[in-house]
Structure 1
Amino acid sequence: MTSTFDYLIIGGGMVADSAARGIREKDSDGTIGILGADIDEPYTRPALSKKLWTDDEFTTDKVPLNTGSDTGATVFTETTVSAIDRENSTVTTASGDTYGYTNLLLATGATPKTIDLPATPRVVYFRTYADYRRLRELATEGSHIAVVGGGYIGAEIASALVQNKVTVTLVTSDDTLGAHMFPADLASAFDQGFVDHGVTMKRSAKVTGGSQSESSVTLTLDDGTSVGADAVVFGLGVTPNTELADGAGLDVDNGIVVDEFLRTSDARVYAAGDVANYPDAILGRRRIEHVDNAEQMGKTVGQIMAGGTDPYTYTPLFYSDVFDDGYQAIGTLDSSLTVVEDWKEPAKEGVVYYLNDESVVQGVLMWNVWEGLDEARALLADASPHTEESLRGTI
């Protein structure tokens, strides 16, 4: 056995960083080990598709979270855990090393979804800081990069690239970019913003395959057309990394199932972040893949592992920044729900409420509105029906 830690964390992302800091709020001396598969130590992931491209003052020295130096944790990079032995309280890595634990946190995150086109220097399934560095090398002025996926990452990357004088083609399955989340007029304005910035849109299309050479990539679309580019970056969503938990006999169901104290079916094994299926105090059981949840859940699970007695009751927000627009939201954004729009300026500043068939609020979108989170959470916690009149002016 190489080492035994009071707190052993599998996963080297933002959850690990927040958990180590949460531990230190309760325990200044306990040993912390972080086993991360990433080539880099914990870093701020949102900057990879946002500020690093659009804010000259946000330089690469601000990306690392300095977890080891700030918390005293021992951080291992390029370390993949292959098995958990709960009976002996150990984990084994792919290289054959074994680490013991008193408390174990699974912060294994998620893996990008892929198609039948292998990742290469010109095909990037965007997720890590290394992916960002690779894309930066490809994103020279005048280069042509295809972006596949019209969700958060795809939209942000397309926006970032075109603002850096890259020729961009965006492939989305939406008829109008963002139409799966936003009401029709907002989606139309959102889509038009990309067109106005010079992005070539390939709507209502999915990539079915492709080929690549040393200098280019060609994508085949399901509408019978193709897109040729110098490189392609995919943002197709992610799949939670539950293999370790499943192999260890822990409960898994769309993520690792935890209780309100973020405990798995083994009381000494916890899970947090993208991989955790948890009982949200307002929204009910779910799994959330956004940074606010990673930071807050990570901090809470660290405190709990170190003796804290408060459950995780926080309902996280998510946000995005594209061109000159930004939004924050809580709950479910699904354009198939009933929507109530309350605009100060249509498609520029306002709030959209998403209601189910019983007129109960399921989600709140704040477009270029940066207050109102408490009011949004109160609405989501209120199971009574609402009307357009009752919602107007709430936020």
Structure 2
Amino acid sequence: MRHDYDYLIIGAGMVADAAARGIRELDAEGTIGVLGEERDPPVTRPALSKKLWTDPEFGYDQIFPDTSGDTGATLRLGVRVSHIDRAAKRVETSDGSTYGYGKLLISTGGTPKRLELPASERVLYYRTVEDYRKLRELAGEQRHVAVVGGGFIGTELAAALVQNGARTTLILPERTLGESQFPSALAERLHQTFRDHGVELIGGRKVVGGEERDGKVVVRLDDGLSIEADAVAIGLGITPNQSLAEQAGLAVDEGIIVDARLATEDPDIFAAGDVAKYPDAILGRQRVEHVDNAKQMGGCVGRIMAGSDERYTHTPYFYSVLFDLSYQAIGQLSSQLQMAEEWQQAPAQKGTVYYLDDHRLVGVLLVGFDADEQAEKLDHARGLLADKGPFNPDTLVGKLAD
């Protein structure tokens, strides 16, 4: 069976929703098709590790934007694209269907990184709505959930679970939570905050294997210790899903290479979101896996596909809320870089951290600011990051207070 669309989008995530809306800003009539491998429609993915667990007024039905109703896009879910035929301008799916396109957007996101522990009903490489549903069923009532990974997803999941009645263990390679990104005082505050809320922290360890037996999951650590849990949720980052582009002969390098207009080497094929490696106007070529980028890049690429002459010039930020600690950031965060700290209250409570690499500002971290303050400071931070300096810690302190 063949279907033809003016605009075809592979991947039914937040980028697809934003792109369809961007298309409709300029083209009210063109047909839009969205092919999604997951069986759920586009979803506000950050809610799966944040608000659905921590905000009692935020309901499950609020995570699904009405992509089809608002834009007229046709969603075809549970469909895996197997091949892109650039010459014929069509894609083929594993069920034997073909889809023709005028403009094609690849927004395939990424696949969670795996351990030597097979996925199952109790072992979740956490990313999808289905993962959320399963974890909700397994969590609570003091059942034991082990979370693997001390990064973005791992910390949010551990915080969410312990606040919803689960006995929670967080296994992480760092000895102090956040020490690879944050100044020592902030890392120590974060670490102690998790402990104060009842999360058991096993630092300096990695999972090397495991198995399921008798309704439990046993994970083995690199020091020989084994931990038994009712479920294991794993958040170790993702690998970009670039194989379709690679098979189609498009340039890839830990992501699909696009230009400032988010186009690949083929002028009718674009890429956006987690899978796109693009030339950021301030920070240089990079690939960003956060919600601000998905929304802004998705809307921009939709308009470009529909005829806009714009370029993607937005430098995205990312954020997290962990118990009473909230932060927002732009650019590169690494405790291996030179850092300048500016605290308005006690250290690690409210303030700014600047990250420098060879006298160039490469990252800014905001801690504890409210929504009104952060919006202004993020815009100011972008201006500082665009300034090539040279900077040193003394000249940076106070810059965001100007």
- Normalization by structure 2: what TM-score? 0.97
**Residues of 2 paired with 1:318 and 1:102: CA distance?**
33
Deviation at 1:388, TM superposition (A): 2.7
Unaligned runs of 5+ in 1: none
1:377 aligned partner: 382
* 1:335-354 aligned within 5 A: 335-345=335-345, 346-354=347-355
**Residues of 2 paired with 1:99 and 1:374: CA distance?**
41
2:126 aligned partner: 126
For 1:392, which of 394, 397, 400 is the aligned residue?
397
**Residues of 2 paired with 1:194 and 1:385: CA distance?**
38
**Does 2:205 match 1:205?**
yes
SS of residue matched to 1:82: strand
**Residues of 2 paired with 1:319 and 1:223: CA distance?**
33
* 1:262-341 aligned within 5 A: 262-341=262-341
SS of residue matched to 1:227: strand
**Residues of 2 paired with 1:181 and 1:389: CA distance?**
21
SS of residue matched to 2:382: helix
The one-letter amino acid paired with 1:265 is E
Report % sequence identity: 56
**Residues of 1 paired with 2:399 and 2:157: CA distance?**
33
Distance 1:214 1:34, change over 3 A: farther
Unaligned runs of 5+ in 2: none
Deviation at 1:185, TM superposition (A): 1.0
**Residues of 2 paired with 1:108 and 1:161: CA distance?**
28
* 1:1-395 aligned within 5 A: 1-345=1-345, 346-357=347-358, 359-369=359-369, 370-371=374-375, 372-395=377-400
**Residues of 1 paired with 2:396 and 2:108: CA distance?**
39
CA deviation string 1:143-199 (max 9, x = no partner):
000000000000000000001121001000011111111011110110111011111
Q: RMSD of the alignment, in Å?
A: 0.8
CA deviation string 1:337-368 (max 9, x = no partner):
000000112111110000012x2111000011
**Residues of 2 paired with 1:173 and 1:314: CA distance?**
33
CA deviation string 1:71-112 (max 9, x = no partner):
000011101100000000000001110000000000000000
SS of residue matched to 1:375: helix
**Residues of 1 paired with 2:142 and 2:11: CA distance?**
37
Deviation at 1:386, TM superposition (A): 1.8
**Residues of 2 paired with 1:377 and 1:277: CA distance?**
20
**Residues of 2 paired with 1:158 and 1:140: CA distance?**
12
SS of residue matched to 2:239: strand
The one-letter amino acid paired with 2:248 is A
Deviation at 1:214, TM superposition (A): 4.4
**Residues of 2 paired with 1:116 and 1:337: CA distance?**
32
Deviation at 1:374, TM superposition (A): 1.1
In the alignment, is the contact (CA less than 8 A) between 2:215 and 2:230 conserved in 1? yes
Deviation at 1:387, TM superposition (A): 2.7
Distance 1:123 1:145, change over 3 A: same
**Residues of 1 paired with 2:399 and 2:85: CA distance?**
51
**Residues of 2 paired with 1:378 and 1:140: CA distance?**
45
Paired residues, number: 394
In the alignment, is the contact (CA less than 8 A) between 2:140 and 2:161 conserved in 1? no
Deviation at 1:213, TM superposition (A): 1.9
SS of residue matched to 2:146: strand
**Residues of 2 paired with 1:61 and 1:244: CA distance?**
32
**Residues of 2 paired with 1:232 and 1:304: CA distance?**
42
**Residues of 1 paired with 2:87 and 2:397: CA distance?**
56
**Residues of 1 paired with 2:393 and 2:204: CA distance?**
31
Distance 1:105 1:214, change over 3 A: farther
SS of residue matched to 1:302: helix
